[in-house]
Amino acid sequence: MEKIITWIIGKLPKSLQKLWNAHESIWMYIIVGGLTTVISLLFQMVPTAIFTELGLSSWINTFLSTTISWIASVTFAFFTNKVYVFKSKTTTRKAFWREFFMFYSARLVTYFLELLIMELGNHFFATVNNEIVTWRSLVIKIFAQVIILVVNYIFSKLVVFKNKETKQK
């Protein structure tokens, strides 16, 4: 992925290359966040449609679909953020598991925020005749993902993948 991005950046005008280089981690976070959002949406909408067909009540449907979506997207996000965004290299298992635990803990906070947004959004916007309308739920999911993207970046930058130089100062 890095080679592809480097090639694309190399084709851009110099002013855009400077902009990229000045804020590379933010741009990479946006790219990885976009891919994570696609995974999250896919793993939200497919179970939502399946659980709706099975006739599950809307709150169980929302809870199960959001949980499945969260597990898939957070796992993808951990590895891509570690490697491509924050370029975190851990040399011990303890350091790796510390990052892993911190990442999942921070994401667990935003998971509950996402559940709240999804439940309220589905209840007030996406439910028609006691059934969740998938496209409306997708609109709520996209809105939730924007909020979650910003909060997760702050957690990752300030807590999980802290610059080791900052720790030493």
Confidence band (pLDDT; 50, 70, 90) for 132? confident
Interatomic CA distance for residues 42 and 30, integer angstroms? 18
Q: Which token pair is 147?
A: 């909020």
Residue 124: the pLDDT is 85
Per-residue model confidence as pLDDT tens digits over 14-53: 999 899 889 888 889 888 988 988 998 899 889 988 988 8
SS (H, E, C) the chain: CHHHHHHHHHHCCHHHHHHHHHCHHHHHHHHHHHHHHHHHHHHHHHHHHHHHHCCCCHHHHHHHHHHHHHHHHHHHHHHHHHHHHCCCCCCCHHHHHHHHHHHHHHHHHHHHHHHHHHHHHHHHHHEECCEECHHHHHHHHHHHHHHHHHHHHHHHHHHHCCCHHHHHC
Residues 6+ apart with CB under 8 A from 121: 137, 139, 140, 143, 144
- pLDDT of 146 above 60: yes
Per-residue model confidence as pLDDT tens digits over 55-96: 887 778 888 998 899 899 999 999 999 999 888 888 899 999
Q: What is the dihedral of CA 85, 91, 92, 98, to 10 degrees?
A: -20
